[in-house]
Amino acid sequence: MKKLALLSVSDKTGIVDFAKQLEERDYEVVSTGGTLKALLDGGVDAISVEKITNFDEMLDGRVKTLHPRIHAGILARRDNETHMKQIAAQGIDPIDLVCVNLYPFKETIEKPDVTDEEAIENIDIGGPSMLRAAAKNSQDVIVITDVNDYSEFIKRYDANELDAAYHRHLAAKVFRHTAAYDALIAQYLTKEEFPEKLTLTYEKVQDMRYGENSHQKAAYYSEPIPEKYSLANAKQLHGKELSYNNVRDADAALRIIAEFPDQPAVVALKHMNPCGIGTADDLLTAWNLAYESDPISIFGGIIALNREVDLATAEKMHAIFLEIVIAPSFTDEAYDVLAKKKNIRLLTLPFGPIDKTGKDEVSVLGGMLVQDRDLLHEASANFKVVSKVQPTAEQLKALAFGQNAVKHVKSNAIVVTTANQTLGVGAGQPNRIDSTKIAVEKAESKPNFANAVLASDAFFPMDDCVEFAAKHGIKAIVEPGGSIKDQDSIAKADELGIALVFSGARHFKH
């Protein structure tokens, strides 16, 4: 007795060859619309679904498989005598294989000029219904939604390996697929910033050798339609596959360098914290400033550059060990120099602003935190001078540079900086005075420390940070303000004759 296979696909890749192989294995093929035409044109002896339903397709194709003769044939349990008698009484044949892929909703909404009407017309109804029905009855029905599974099914069929585990694998894959499909639709239609149910979906980019440490398994997933300026859109030109830590560090570097679009800029990063940031009128100078910020920590670091990498800059980078270099592009000569190192990863991606509508999500045990991205770009025009000493114009530029850098350092965070170069970074200490000491002590040995200012990601709870900084040569400080002891810090700044500025905005980064 022939088995019945229902094929209805939007992506027709390989479907004719698959149908022919099914026919060779005693399947009778039933199909719909464009799939049926493709099969008939390809020489497959397929029959129309209308011959099974005795019901013409209607509503511009919205209704064609939504029919009891289809769904009963899929859902009837073969081990249930009552089910089998009921479908036999109606003259319904069981459907043994369902091969469906869905209307191209993702591809539709990716179009820059897509309308809501066009998007909604590409929400599949019949396809998910058939897939879910077949997956529910997967002990009896083979269900395929991925064109990459066609050959695997044929191979297993011929080897008599269509076991229960394989049926369950295909069913689980279907429910993941339909859940992701529905999640994307929900995201497209949702206007609430924080809806009552958060339906997110991601697609696997790659399995990783391990996670943060070698005993942790890991994989990298991206959004179905990743924003333009993201690592998901990067093109790797050279080097080993990215690791878990590489991805996190590269993402952090991209977030930082987005703060400095107006000049050539270089960010050197280690363990999610910048160890050097430099900006200048040319890329080589910016590199030198970033490198000189911390020539020890940059070893094995991640480098982001916001201009095309030229030969001179590449030669400087080639001289030290780096994990990743990511830039908009490389000149041929620059690429040739850097690619001499086998393991360095060279990546390009379209540089641009970070999506302001995007959210940051952080997993916690049993849940997830979601928040707006911290895209507040600090400008000295918004600062309030609270000390008697007034900062100079150059100091104000440095204070703004420092605030835009310190927001990307793990809290408690302190950065000592000039107007175009970080000199010392104090990151992640459990108290602010220790972060201050680390940043200042790193900066003191730098040639241009005389021009240094200090930036803090949050207010000073007491005056010890102001006192330490001032006594070590810092002439101007910026912090958000807002402590009940703000007056103590102001008084200490006035006592020691330095400028103290409040930015009004905290930048914790946990």
Catalytic residue among 3, 12, 20, 136: 136
Find out whether 486 and 459 touch, Cβ atoms under 8 Å.
yes
- Integer Cα distance of 261 and 279 in angstroms: 10
Find out whether 339 and 332 touch, Cβ atoms under 8 Å.
no
Q: Residue 378 corresponds to which tokens in the numbers above?
A: 């600090």
Q: Residue 11 corresponds to which tokens in the numbers above?
A: 């992506």
Strand stretches in 36-184, DSSP E: 47-48, 97-101, 142-144
* One-character DSSP codes across 167-224: HHHHHHHHHHHHHHHHHHHHHHH---SS-SS-----EEEEEES-SSSTTS-EEEEE-S
Residue 68: in which H helix or E strand, if any?
helix 68-75
Main-chain dihedrals φ then ψ at residue 276, nearest 5 degrees:
-165, 135
In 3D space, the residue among 244, 240, 179, 186 whose CA is nearest the CA of residue 211 turns out to be 244
Q: Is residue 167 among the annotated active site residues? A: no
Helices (H) and strands (E) in the chain, counts: 18, 21
Find out whether 424 and 437 touch, Cβ atoms under 8 Å.
no
Find out whether 371 and 360 touch, Cβ atoms under 8 Å.
yes
Catalytic residue among 228, 271, 318, 341: 271
Q: Determine the longest span between alpha carbons in the chain, in angstroms.
A: 97
- Integer Cα distance of 225 and 187 in angstroms: 11
Edge to edge, the sheet with strand 265-270 lists 235-238, 345-348, 322-327, 301-305, 265-270, 273-279
- Integer Cα distance of 154 and 278 in angstroms: 58
Residue at token pair 């080897």: 159
In 3D space, the residue among 276, 271, 349, 350 whose CA is nearest the CA of residue 316 turns out to be 276
Long-range contacts of 204-213 (CB under 8 A, 24+ apart): 205/232, 206/241, 206/242, 208/241, 208/242, 208/243, 208/244, 209/241, 209/243, 210/243, 210/244, 211/244, 212/244, 212/245
Q: Residue 324 corresponds to which tokens in the numbers above?
A: 């990743």
For residue 223, give every residue at least 6 positions away whose Cβ sits within 8 Å of its Cβ, in sequence order, or none: 201, 202, 203, 232
- Integer Cα distance of 510 and 500 in angstroms: 25
For residue 225, give every residue at least 6 positions away whose Cβ sits within 8 Å of its Cβ, in sequence order, or none: 106, 109, 110
Q: Is residue 271 among the annotated active site residues? A: yes
Residues forming the active site:
136, 271
